[in-house]
Amino acid sequence: MNLTSSLRLGTATPTPTPTPTPTLPTFCSTVSLKLPSIHASHHLLQLSKKVGVVYSAANQVIEKKQQHGVTESGVDRIGSLTQVSGVLGCQWGDEGKGKLVDILANHFDIVARCQGGANAGHTIYNSEGKKFALHLVPSGILNEDTMCVIGNGVVVHLPGLFKEIDGLEANGVSCKGRILVSDRAHLLFDFHQEVDGLREEELAKSFIGTTKRGIGPCYSSKVIRNGIRVGDLRHMDTFHQKLDIMLSDAASRFQHFNKTPNMLKEEVERYERYAERLEPFITDTVHFLNEAITEKKKILVEGGQATMLDIDFGTYPFVTSSSPSAGGICTGLGIAPRVVGDLIGVVKAYTTRVGSGPFPTEILGQGGDLLRSSGQEFGTTTGRPRRCGWLDIVALKYCCQINGFSSLNLTKLDVLSNLPEIPLGVSYKLADGTPVNAFPADLRTLEQIKVDYEVMPGWQTDISSIRKYSNLPKAACQYIARIEELVGVPVNYIGIGPGRDALIYK
């Protein structure tokens, strides 16, 4: 059974896109030739060899330029990015933001995380193909000249951060003097993770499906103003009292949370050790970043999660607890909106999400299993299998409107290879046929949504080794062009594999 034949597309009937009649490219036009003499034939053979050498050299130059972000037409995609640029997710996370950040980091002085915590897992590969799974450390860490900033909007679990740093150091990645942690960032404690699990149990069948990394409870502590910040580690004389208040609050809220004097004592002693180790990392990152902007240094902002998980704009309440959309950049780093320039939206060539919540284009049953297996769709942070579906244009357009993306990075296009046809979810309607013109906030409306699909032709070939846009199959180019047309944002980066070099600049 092939993938598309085993799908649930809803009750809407897909509208096939007619396949254009193939036409002969202009460079293959038929011309009339006289047969050359034997001497002329030898001359032409030698000439063709020279031309072949020149052509091969020219191709090598083009490919080398493309590795540095230059398109076939000579546009420098990376070099033309603004002083402060950002990479944000366009779906429910897991789009492949870390890879693009890793590639772009080589051209930026600073890479900064602005929100979220260790629930954001970014998988990247170094130049030797070695795999790294990052959670708190920005994805620019593999580029030795890049400074990495964990901003004030991030919630920081110190045991996890130190484990991550130790793992990087053990694999030859130097972190000394290269990671700055905001003194305004909030500390996430182990008890926050325990509370996260208790909260999910309490919700029962209405559970959110969090990573249980304590992100929500930590942000809750921040918002009710009893949280502890990184800068508080410099004042251990009052740390005991502040932590006692937080633990007491958790104990009063959850009957199965067992707070003991010994627990408090052990945690204070542990954080005294952490405070000493973290001291070289602690920085007023608001001042640092604004000084860097004045000095004309280039800053790349790395988003975690994605817009459809935004606390305000996502599928609430099945969202994260921070703002992974464009607005979170300014509040999470302390930089002015006027300095933020190019924002690149990262979107999979299909759609995935982890946890509970609405998912209009979800593929149920064997079809979803096949796509999950083909795309290796399992969470970087938790290993949980991701729910899979077709690309949702309505949701993508909504994300583009909120963030004002200057371009898109379409990832995992290679996963769709060898499908006979590829549905695109182009519009929504209710069961009675009433059109729904935008992504709705109301969950009841989302439950009633029927998706209209436009079926695009597939391509029956592996594209993972292609490095030039002009070499992609015609159907793949049609798929990309249709996304651009429907969303109104150019696709300038195309991912066709996990490695650093598996990226096409268009």
Q: What is the mean pLDDT of each run of 10 residues along the chain (506 residues)?
A: 46 41 30 32 43 46 62 92 97 92 94 89 80 90 94 97 95 95 97 85 68 87 95 96 91 81 90 97 98 98 95 95 96 98 98 92 92 87 86 98 98 95 97 94 93 96 95 98 98 94 95
Residues 271 and 363 grouped into a single domain: no
Does 450 show up as a binding residue in the annotation?
no
Pick from 434, 423, 433, 428: nearest CA to 451: 428
Does 167 show up as a binding residue in the annotation?
no
Does 177 show up as a binding residue in the annotation?
no
Please give the distance of CA 71 from its chain centroid, rounded to a whole number. Answer: 22
pLDDT score, position 11: 37
Q: Per the structure, how many domains does the chain have?
A: 2
Residues 263 and 360 grouped into a single domain: no
Residues 273 and 351 grouped into a single domain: no
pLDDT score, position 200: 78
Pick from 320, 312, 316, 395: nearest CA to 352: 395
- Active-site annotation holder among 94, 183, 196, 310: 94
- Active-site annotation holder among 122, 186, 348, 397: 122
Does 225 show up as a binding residue in the annotation?
yes
Q: How crowded is residue 405: how many other Cβ atoms within 10 Å of its Cβ? A: 26
The DSSP call for residue 396 is H
- Active-site annotation holder among 157, 186, 222, 348: 222
The reply to whether 39 falls in a domain is no
- How far apart CA 398 and CA 486 sit, in angstroms, is 12
Give residue 144's identity as a one-letter amino acid code. Answer: E
Does 328 show up as a binding residue in the annotation?
no
Contact 413, 494 (CB under 8 A): yes
Residue 157 appears among annotated catalytic residues: no
Does 380 show up as a binding residue in the annotation?
yes
The reply to whether 431 falls in a domain is yes
pLDDT score, position 122: 77
- How far apart CA 411 and CA 502 sit, in angstroms, is 10
pTM of the prediction?
A: 0.84
The reply to whether 5 falls in a domain is yes
The reply to whether 83 falls in a domain is no
Pick from 326, 335, 409, 434: nearest CA to 98: 409
Residues 232 and 370 grouped into a single domain: no
Kindly tell me the number of DSSP H helices and DSSP E strands found in the chain: 13, 21
Handedness of CA 99, 104, 105, 110 (dihedral sign): negative
Residue 49 appears among annotated catalytic residues: no
Does 245 show up as a binding residue in the annotation?
no
Residues 275 and 366 grouped into a single domain: no
Does 119 show up as a binding residue in the annotation?
yes
Question: In the beta sheet, which residues pair with residue 111?
Answer: 148, 300
How big, in percent rounded to 5, are the helix, strand and coil portions of the chain? 40, 20, 40
- How far apart CA 369 and CA 297 sit, in angstroms, is 45
The reply to whether 464 falls in a domain is yes
Distances, alpha carbon 150 to alpha carbons 263, 304, 313, 345, in Å: 28, 12, 24, 21
Domain that holds residue 464: 1-17+346-506
The DSSP call for residue 456 is E
- How far apart CA 180 and CA 151 sit, in angstroms, is 8
- How far apart CA 219 and CA 186 sit, in angstroms, is 8
Does 95 show up as a binding residue in the annotation?
yes
The DSSP call for residue 430 is -
The reply to whether 496 falls in a domain is yes
Please tell me whether residue 58 adopts helix, strand or coil conformation: helix
Q: Cβ contacts of residue 36 below 8 Å, gap of 6+?
A: 44
Residue 298 appears among annotated catalytic residues: no
- How far apart CA 418 and CA 423 sit, in angstroms, is 14
Q: How crowded is residue 330: how many other Cβ atoms within 10 Å of its Cβ? A: 18
Does 304 show up as a binding residue in the annotation?
no
Q: Of 236, 261, 280, which marks where a domain is finished?
A: 280
Given phi > 0 = left and psi -120 to 50 = alpha, else beta, which region is 467? alpha
Element holding 455 (H helix, E strand): strand 450-457
Does 386 show up as a binding residue in the annotation?
yes
CATH number at residue 228: 1.10.300.10
The reply to whether 7 falls in a domain is yes
pLDDT score, position 209: 64
Q: How crowded is residue 140: how many other Cβ atoms within 10 Å of its Cβ? A: 29
pLDDT score, position 198: 81
Does 14 show up as a binding residue in the annotation?
no
Q: For strand 387-389 and strand 351-353, is the pairing parallel, antiparallel, or unpaired? A: antiparallel
Question: In the beta sheet, which residues pair with residue 89?
Answer: 346
- How far apart CA 179 and CA 77 sit, in angstroms, is 27
Does 414 show up as a binding residue in the annotation?
yes
Cα separation of the two ends of the chain? 34
pLDDT score, position 210: 67
Q: Of 280, 300, 322, which marks where a domain is finished?
A: 280
The DSSP call for residue 357 is S
